[in-house]
Amino acid sequence: MDNCETMVQYFYSVILSLLDHYLPFVRRNTLNCDKPWVTPEFQYVVKRRQRAFLSGQSSLYRSLRNKTQRMAKTLRKKYFEKKIESLHTLDPHSWWTKTK
């Protein structure tokens, strides 16, 4: 490495290869219409429920339907409890703007 430009190119190639190895790019499928409490596990259970429905497995579909309903209820409840907890630390003006 005789000049500065080759050293910089080598440095960046090493850094980028290490980043690709230790911090790989992970693609996540999220939609803008998803509710804020929707998690990847919840989406997986919904997919399984839909597959069971389309394949005609009624007993599996019913159990997965019940599971998704319970899961949605608890996720929604936890999300709003966390939001309300964060509002307790705010001043009244900020609290009111958040609740609007």
Residue 8 has φ and ψ, to the nearest 5°, of: -65, -45
- Tokens 């009111």 found at: 96
**DSSP track, 34-69:** S-TT--HHHHHHHHHHHHHHHHT-HHHHHHHHHHHH
Highest mean pLDDT among 8-12, 23-27, 85-89, 91-95: 8-12
The Cα–Cα gap between 38 and 60 comes to 22
The Cα–Cα gap between 97 and 36 comes to 19
Model confidence pLDDT, tens digit, residues 21-75: 888 887 766 667 788 889 989 999 999 999 999 999 999 999 999 999 999 999 9
pTM of the predicted protein model: 0.58
Query: Which pLDDT score, from 0 to 100, does residue 97 have?
Result: 79
